[in-house]
Amino acid sequence: MCHYPPPPPNPNPTTTPSAFRNHLPSLTIPRFQTAKSQSPSEYAQHFLSTRTPPWLFALTQVWEELYREPFRGVTTDGVVREGVYGKVSTAAAAASQAAQNLLAQLSPSEKQTLLFPLTSPSWRAWSNPEPLLHPLGLRLEELPPSPRSAILTLMQSSLSAAGFAKARNAMRINAFLGELVGLERIMNEWSYNFLVFGTPPRLWEGGEGEGEGGEEEGKAWGWSLFGHHLCLSVFFKGGEIVISPTFTGAEPNLIDAGPFAGTEILRTEAEIAVKIMRSLTPEQRRNATVFKQMNDEAMMMSLTGDLRTDRWNRDDQRLLCGAFRDNRIVPYEGIPVGPNFNDAQKAMLLDLADEMLIYLPDQARKKRLREIERWFHETYWCWIGGWGDDDAFYFRVQSPVVVLEFDHHHGVFLTNEAPGRFHTHTVVRMPNGGDYGGVLRGGEKL
């Protein structure tokens, strides 16, 4: 039976760029009147003490149980497949130097707050909801401008140029949402926690017989940033990088006023996905579609109330691999890409993956795409919802080496009761133990 009453089917188009303004909430209700004067810590404490909303509190209790589990990785059947990943090379020296520059600006107590062991389970502490469930690391909004700028430089040195721009746009859209609902203290451009794992390697200068210089060989380290609608996990080892898992979301997807008007994210992914779906034959679309409606009666009737295993809840909605779902069993669904997609459709799928993996540096991303293509014979494409101009939808791309999820949500701060195209959540995972640098860790475990 259904644990929570599902929202109704979507009756209205929601693709007009500023359609979200038809769903702005009343700021006079107690939810906003109470929260507007609270600090992030007070807001989180109020959530925990009042257990409101109860559905989210119940979910966070399940998340805490999942967080305590040993890390294994997302699988299709509970068994981790070994040896599915190849190497992905990139230059990490600039990020290492940026990390050293950050550390040089911090006090001993700030360093102690920032730094975690490489094998710390705190890698897995990230979550998307705005209440700060795990107050770990340094909070960007609490830092002076100089170390905060140093963190941005470290992010910029680690990510591709387009990926860094996407991250910054997600942060700015979060601030825009805070302004829309009068909660600027809870949701702003700097409402994010930053953690560093391991010890960033020091660079050495090249000298006679030493080549051109480099960093301490083979040293592993990484960083994590998490907060509302943006969570990134970045792991370095020598000349290799892993950026997974990632969570990127937006409500709304577009800033339509103010100094950053025109800023938009997560539209390209949607456009490519719809183009793929429309290019399939009617039979292929039918076989790829797991449920016809976003809140399909058959999906809702399948719910048991077990928040560990149900495929829908009010926070993740249709996403299966979000926060704390590090060990989730996700069987393949939909249609296999290998025998069903032609060359043009496979090229579109790689374009989609390229956009969703945009945080990876360019060369690393190219190699990652080749690895994904290498597994097209065991890659599945599935869909929920419609593919018309106004339809909200969910899709998942899944293989032994990647999970890409995209879902249109109903309103959380906005009032739309049905999924709309202006509220989107996406997740990227490296299954079979690849998340959090697992593919590079060797015998080291979280």
pLDDT at 367 over 80: yes
Residue 407 pLDDT > 90: yes
In the predicted structure, residue 230 carries a pLDDT above the cut 90: yes
Q: Assess contact for 184 and 178: CB atoms under 8 A.
A: yes
Residue 209 has pLDDT above 90, yes or no: no
pLDDT digits (tens, 9 = 90+) for 304-358: 999 999 999 999 999 999 999 999 999 999 999 999 999 999 999 999 999 999 9
CA-closest candidate to residue 6, choices 427, 310, 229, 289: 310
Sign of the alpha-carbon torsion through 117, 367, 126, 299: negative
Quickly state the pLDDT bin for 60 (edges 50, 70, 90): very high
What is the C-alpha to C-alpha distance for residues 262 and 290, in angstroms, rounded to an integer?
Answer: 34
CA distances (Å), origin 218, targets 97, 120, 221, 366, 368: 16, 19, 10, 22, 20
Specify which residues 196 forms β-bridges with: 115, 223
Q: In this predicted model, what pLDDT tens digit does every residue of 173-204 receive, in sequence order?
A: 999 999 999 999 999 999 999 999 999 998 64
Dump pLDDT digits (tens) for 254-308: 999 999 999 999 999 999 999 999 999 999 999 999 999 999 999 999 999 999 9
User: Do you find a cis peptide bond into 129, omega within 30 degrees of 0?
Assistant: no
> Using one digit for the tens of pLDDT, what is the confidence trace for 67-98?
999 999 999 999 999 999 987 666 567 999 99
Q: How confident is residue 10, by pLDDT bands cut at 50, 70 and 90?
A: very low
Predicted confidence (pLDDT) at residue 59 exceeds the cutoff of 50: yes
CA–CA separation, 72 and 349 (whole Å)? 27
| DSSP annotation string for 249-314 | EESSSB--SSTTTT-B-SHHHHHHHHHHHHHS-HHHHHHHEEESSTT-HHHHHT--S-TTT-S-BT
Q: How far is CA 42 from CA 39, 47, 48, 50, in A?
A: 5, 9, 10, 12
Work out the average pLDDT over 377-387: 98
Q: State the pTM of this model.
A: 0.93
Of the listed ranges 237-241, 279-283, 401-405, 409-413, the least confidently predicted one is 237-241
Q: Kindly report the number of other CB atoms within 10 A of residue 161's CB atom.
A: 11
Q: Give the largest Cα separation in the chain, rounded.
A: 72
The model's pLDDT over 41-51, given as tens digits with 9 standing for 90+, comes to 999 999 999 99
Domain ranges of the chain: 19-23+258-441
- φ, ψ (nearest 5 deg) of residue 428: -120, 130
